[in-house]
Structure 1
Amino acid sequence: MKTINVQIADIIKYTKQSLQVPKIMEAVAHRQIIINQAEKLGIKVELDELQAAADNLRIANKLYKADDTWSWLRKYQLSLDDLEEIAYHKLLSQKLANYLFADKVESYFYENQLGYTGAAIYEIIIDEEDMAMELFYGLQAGEISFQEVARQYIQEPEIRRAGGYRGIRYRQDFRPEVSAAIFASNPPQLIKPIVTSKGVHLIWVEEIIKPELDDNLRMIIMTDMLSNWLKQELIDVEIMALLDMETPAPDSQGCVGSV
């Protein structure tokens, strides 16, 4: 197997040239705001809570065995300390969201209930519109099954094995033109192919799910509310980063540390 050595400087250069820096800087600023606010409010993460959060993180990433965990860490260039820190910040965000918004979830839910209507869907993205239409008519006529099309056109192994099943998705998860078609459907129904910048979407809508305010949806809503709150916190803040010698140094009003 051939090896290609990638330097840190190359990674930073690519990140800058692929225009990802503003998004990353905003995420770093969000993390710092959460840390500062949690400290101000006296919110702490206990050791047993951190252990449970780390276990949940491993389960979420299907890291059931030690070898799975080490392979995953190598893939993302992480250490065990990094894994623990990821779990820590995720849990701290959840605890802050709960502190700030737990008593506001119900009113937010009823005001935004339509946005939390879900759809259980199967999806295949085809490169060519003519081929997508041919497959659409073939599916309608029963000449081929959705699972057969999925096996042929989906690259990701897990989604391919699941026949294109994408789980339960919400309105905000879709582009407007896709969302409009899905939530206007009468499931179970195959939707006429929809063209977007990603390709041509073949979508089978299995079920439209009316939202119920259970624990899982409460957490989703609190996460959304925290995200909106963080955006508000950054409205009057300029985020700057010193990534190389050509970048001008930020003043005290503009650096992340002043957030």
Structure 2
Amino acid sequence: MTEALQIGNRTIQATELIPLLASYQMLPQLIRELIIDEAIASVECTLEEITRTQQQFYLERQLKTDADIKAWMAYHGITVNQLESVTIRKLKIEKFKIATWGNKLESYFFQNKAKLDKVIYSLLRTQDIGLVQELYFRLQAKEQSFAELAKEYSQGPEAQTGGLVGPVELQAIHPGMVQLLSSSQPGQVLPPARITEWVVILRLEKLIPAQLDDQMKARLLNELFEAWLQEQQKQIQSHS
């Protein structure tokens, strides 16, 4: 990498880069990457891991020949000495996450499981209190199905699906609705309840408990990593 960048008629010196990054609001991203670099500096990888990761790196970017790799390096301003660290950086980050939070995943999962569980439920909502009472009585008397009434009367996008919503995580639902759904049984039509500006009728269709599978592990590791990163950035900014 040269000491200056030539862009059109403008020469940008190395000393100008930090102010430029700040003016383009890119400085937080640089700080983030520097924090990561410091954290993963001591992470070790086997030769087999490095080879496999580099092959995957080139494959994802369709770098099939030495000429392709050289052109990519030139475009990104990367030297031969930097190439290995760039290609295995993602691997080292993943290994850092597992080493730091891998043994905390199970407890973190169970702490958050109530929010991660998913539900499928039926929803009918309107702002007409008189109407919602009448619809509730129709459902109780089995005069019409939930789907029929939701299609005809519900005033949200769920009308398009006959009132059916989900699967959706509990943390993505209004807390008032979570409370109602969590205390009901599948198939039970709940009496009308006020949620914000709506009066709603709910019916829990299915509760889908969250599982600590590979996909969930990866997601929770990312959450813990991002929370840690944000905390590190806050500390740096508070001292700057």
Q: TM-score of the superposition, structure 2-length normalised? A: 0.54
Taking the aligned partners of 1:29 and 1:120, their CA distance within structure 2 comes to 43
Structure 2 residue aligned with 1:15: none
The one-letter code of the counterpart of 1:107 is S
Taking the aligned partners of 1:119 and 1:169, their CA distance within structure 2 comes to 6
Q: Specify which of 33, 39, 46 is matched with residue 57 of structure 2.
A: 46
Contact kept, 8 Å, 1:118 with 1:211, in 2: the verdict is: yes
User: Could you say if the C-alpha distance between residues 196 and 47 of structure 1 is closer, same or farther in structure 2, counting changes exceeding 3 Å?
Assistant: farther
Q: Give the secondary-structure state (helix, strand or coil) at the position aligned to 1:221.
A: helix
The 5 A counterparts of 1:128-207 are 128-152=128-152, 153-154=154-155, 156=157, 159-207=158-206
Taking the aligned partners of 2:96 and 2:165, their CA distance within structure 1 comes to 32
Structure 2 residue aligned with 1:21: none
The one-letter code of the counterpart of 1:100 is K
Q: Give the secondary-structure state (helix, strand or coil) at the position aligned to 2:181.
A: helix
Give unpaired runs (5+ residues) of structure 1. 1-27, 52-91, 240-251, 254-259
> Displacement, 1:199?
1.5
Q: Specify which of 97, 100, 104 is matched with residue 97 of structure 2.
A: 100
- The CA RMSD over aligned residues, in Å, is 4.0
Contact kept, 8 Å, 1:171 with 1:179, in 2: the verdict is: yes
Post-superposition Cα deviations, 1:91-149, rounded to whole Å, max 9, x if no partner, equal x99x9678525613223113333333322212233122332222222112112212112
Contact kept, 8 Å, 2:113 with 2:210, in 1: the verdict is: yes
Taking the aligned partners of 1:220 and 1:167, their CA distance within structure 2 comes to 20
> Displacement, 1:179?
1.2
Give unpaired runs (5+ residues) of structure 2. 1-25, 42-52, 63-88
Taking the aligned partners of 1:97 and 1:124, their CA distance within structure 2 comes to 44
Q: Percent identity?
A: 22
Contact kept, 8 Å, 2:35 with 2:229, in 1: the verdict is: no
> Displacement, 1:232?
3.2
Q: Give the secondary-structure state (helix, strand or coil) at the position aligned to 2:119.
A: strand
Taking the aligned partners of 2:61 and 2:189, their CA distance within structure 1 comes to 44
> Displacement, 1:33?
6.2
Post-superposition Cα deviations, 1:40-90, rounded to whole Å, max 9, x if no partner, equal 548x99365479xxxxxxxxxxxxxxxxxxxxxxxxxxxxxxxxxxxxxxx
- Larger-Rg structure: 2
> Displacement, 1:237?
7.3
Contact kept, 8 Å, 1:97 with 1:226, in 2: the verdict is: no
Taking the aligned partners of 2:209 and 2:32, their CA distance within structure 1 comes to 32
Taking the aligned partners of 2:178 and 2:156, their CA distance within structure 1 comes to 24
